[in-house]
Structure 1
Amino acid sequence: MRFIHAADIHLDSPLHGLSAYADAPADMLRNATREAFSKLVAVAIDEQVDFMVIAGDLYDGTWRDHNTGIFFCKEMGKLRRAGIPVYVLHGNHDAESEMTSQLQLPDNVHTFSTKKPQTYRIDALKVALHGHSFKDKAVTANLAAAYPSPVDGYFNIGVLHTALEGSSAHANYAPCTVAELHAREYQYWALGHVHEFAMWDEASTIVFPGNLQGRNIRETGRRGAVIVNVSEADKLSVERLFIDVLRWESVIVDASGLATLDEVARAAGRALEALIERAERPVPHAVRVTVTGATKAHGELFANATQLRAEVLAQIAAISHESLWLEKVKVTTQPIARALPASNEDGAADALADLHGLLIEAESDPEFIAMLKERLITLASQAPAELQKSVPELEYVRDGDLAKLVSEVRSGLIAQLADAE
């Protein structure tokens, strides 16, 4: 038999990071999670799987738009007509959703209880699925500890939404350990909550399929679900299914050997073109370009962030505007270490040295940092989208990281002034 294991679908969750830009693919951003889920349902039907497991976070929190739930019912209807049952476990986001408790689902959809662990048997396949849905958003108890013993003679699947040993990137809900899951002696654990793919294959096969569709720049790379094939001897294989319809990527451009903004922009264009050429299928990409390294261009990049972004956008337009969008250009370069200009008649070198020293002291001066935050917080909070784009350093003000702001301004300002001198 074979089944699909998916998790963290987050239907109708907004994709963040592109919507402020005029060239953003608005329709794709709005419908990406739905399109990815429809693709998953189509694969389930084409592959004639025996059932599907959704291990939590089908919905995305406190959504009140019932069109989201109606869309899910429509997709489940397709599986019902194909004779494919679906076993759904509620995760922390589902526990927040009004749709979770209000909508009636098609009769091929089986939802695990929120009161205690529940077992569904598929006698024709000799399969037993065990699961315990979240009743509340923040479940900090070890739910796996109360899961039942495996059913003799059956292929046992544990369905669980968990941080699993406290994944640092996700809230520590339903924590447990890999060793505890192996000790249950189930053949397979279908996990959800952690958005990155992970697998342990020992006494049990334990799998996080990752989320179905990346939603922001923190969720880069290929996304999807898994299809599990089980032989008559209970030998299983796990195959990844890449379902995402828009992919987030991070591209690093090393500017160490480059001297001008134009050279950096051309290097970014080459890196972006290589990214598109490496893609195994023509999935649109949303990309963050990060410029690194100690470079002669540091001062120019610092002073002309808006121009750099425009130059990178021009490179993208020349490559393929239909398959590539820019999320952000981030400059993390450093100036090449060098002596400040020698003293001259007007004392410019001394002034630069004094300014450099004052800015270093300012980074650790609590009174200066507090004053700076007070002066800038209104601007950072209320600035229009166009200004936010052209001055990305405002994010440091909103985050309260004023010392980092001063540090970045210091290195760029001194480099720019030294060049001018």
Structure 2
Amino acid sequence: MSSFTFIHAADLHLDSPLSGLETYPDAPVEQIRGATRRALDNLVTLAREQEVAFVLLAGDVFDNSWRDFHTALFFAQCMGRLGEAGIPVYAVSGNHDAANPIGKTLRPPDNVHFFSPARPESVTLEHCSTVIHGQSYPGRETSEDLAAQYPPAVPGALNIGLLHTGLTGRPGHEPYAPTHPDILAGKGYAYWALGHVHQREVVGRDPWIVFPGIIQGRHIRETGPKGCSLVQVEDGRIRDVVHQEIDVLRWHHGSVDCTSCACDEDVRQAVRGQLQAARDAGDGRPVAVRLECTGTTRMHARLHDSEQHFHEEWRTLAAELGDLWIEKIRLQTRPPAEQSEEIDPDSPLGELMQCIQALELPESCSKELGDLMKQLPSEVTEGEEGLNLKDAQQWQRMQDDVRELLLGRLLRQGGTE
């Protein structure tokens, strides 16, 4: 059996809106909106350059938020470029694909085969002695173990399982099509091409069980390099699985320790260090960075009292460093113990701080909060950073923010006197 390579990609989420930067005045909006498309372009270019035997797409090719056929047209054009090079594509639909009614009505390009949602099916590739087994999602909330019904390996061939699954469960992902590595291994396949989990993970190597991760990070929870897997086959065996970075925009979380900062310039240098680290992590790509200032510091009151000033200064600093934009800034600092002790608990300020600390999410207001949430615009409540007034953790963060903002401003204005 001759040697060949194939590409395993998943979770394209084509035209999924990237969160955060689009509302930032100086953000490169067009770069952001087109990021998933350019990442798919990179995947197609990689496949043609490597002259791969085929491409596997393990679900969530589309996103459930797209509203017209332009997304499908772009996908067809990209697949057409692969077809011109004689590269077939084998895909399963995932939960996002199944949730979009437009996607269900589309006929795939001639070189693209989507596996049936009715039952597992197998496709034999005679030219490379390979059999690909797969099943698409019949609906968004697929709770059954699809892999359990996949057929056993075909003797004398390289067997590959294509599956969109939460496996045994991964943080931040719904447990759709749950299964266990032992069940996958029991099929006798050489490679399991998985999708659904956005973080790259090699679950096992005998057999290979791989999540390649999302091809383009979409928000601050999807930091670091993103891409696909280039799988090398030799004499009917998987010789190596190499991660290929094809993303065009990266997200970075920078923690600024302000503990030892005593003045504005100290904070500026600490922020600069984190911004430089974010730029380096981009490896030549634009980077969206979230800055989180932490530590017990004498700059606490100053940071909170002049928050807007610091935000503008740091955004300017990011712009000076190149293709770098600040997605969000969070002040999580705390005042020194001696500063807190200056507050007389019996003073008006002390009583105010105690009242704020005692506030809890009121159970009796559940209906009122729900009604208020319905009246808020969707751009406020949806997405990774959406406002949810019924979320106890968000309520606690808002409570902390109010307390620290008031404390910083009142202390600066002599509020403890």
Taking structure 2 as the reference length, what is the TM-score of the superposition?
0.89
For the residues of structure 2 that align with 1:243 and 1:109, how far apart are their CA atoms?
21
Q: Could you report, residue by residue, the CA deviation over 1:23-55 in whole angstroms, capped at 9, with x for unpaired residues?
A: 111111111111110110000000101100000
* Kept after mapping to 2: 8 A contact 1:342/1:349: no
Question: RMSD over aligned Cα, in angstroms?
Answer: 2.8
Equivalent residues in 2 for 1:71-86 (5 A)? 71-86=74-89
For the residues of structure 1 that align with 2:205 and 2:378, how far apart are their CA atoms?
53
Tell me the residue number matched to 1:350.
347
For the residues of structure 1 that align with 2:101 and 2:349, how far apart are their CA atoms?
60
Equivalent residues in 2 for 1:288-367 (5 A)? 288-320=290-322, 323-338=323-338, 350-361=347-358, 363-364=359-360, 366=362
| 1:407 and 2:410 aligned | no
Tell me the residue number matched to 1:157.
160
Q: Could you report, residue by residue, the CA deviation over 1:107-148 in whole angstroms, capped at 9, with x for unpaired residues?
A: 221110111000001011110000010111111000000000
Q: How many residues align?
A: 404
* Kept after mapping to 2: 8 A contact 1:121/1:128: yes
SS of the equivalent of 1:19 reads: helix
For the residues of structure 2 that align with 1:236 and 1:252, how far apart are their CA atoms?
39
Taking structure 1 as the reference length, what is the TM-score of the superposition?
0.88
SS of the equivalent of 1:295 reads: coil
C-alpha displacement of 1:314: 1.4
For the residues of structure 2 that align with 1:174 and 1:296, how far apart are their CA atoms?
51
C-alpha displacement of 1:403: 3.8
Equivalent residues in 2 for 1:5-404 (5 A)? 5-279=8-282, 281-320=283-322, 323-338=323-338, 350-361=347-358, 363-364=359-360, 366=362, 370=365, 381=376, 395=387, 397=389, 399=391, 401-404=394-397
C-alpha displacement of 1:307: 1.6
CA distance 1:94–1:284, change in 2 (3 Å): same
For the residues of structure 1 that align with 2:294 and 2:341, how far apart are their CA atoms?
25
CA distance 1:355–1:99, change in 2 (3 Å): closer
C-alpha displacement of 1:414: 2.8
Q: Could you report, residue by residue, the CA deviation over 1:36-90 in whole angstroms, capped at 9, with x for unpaired residues?
A: 1011000000010110000000011153311111111111111111111110111
CA distance 1:115–1:397, change in 2 (3 Å): closer
For the residues of structure 1 that align with 2:349 and 2:74, how far apart are their CA atoms?
62
For the residues of structure 1 that align with 2:150 and 2:278, how far apart are their CA atoms?
45
For the residues of structure 1 that align with 2:263 and 2:378, how far apart are their CA atoms?
30
* Kept after mapping to 2: 8 A contact 1:60/1:93: yes
For the residues of structure 2 that align with 1:21 and 1:285, how far apart are their CA atoms?
14
C-alpha displacement of 1:407: 2.8
CA distance 1:147–1:266, change in 2 (3 Å): same
Where has structure 1 moved over 6 Å in runs of 4 or more? 382-385
For the residues of structure 2 that align with 1:120 and 1:341, how far apart are their CA atoms?
72
For the residues of structure 2 that align with 1:338 and 1:396, how far apart are their CA atoms?
35
* Kept after mapping to 2: 8 A contact 1:335/1:412: no
For the residues of structure 2 that align with 1:84 and 1:405, how far apart are their CA atoms?
52
SS of the equivalent of 2:318 reads: helix
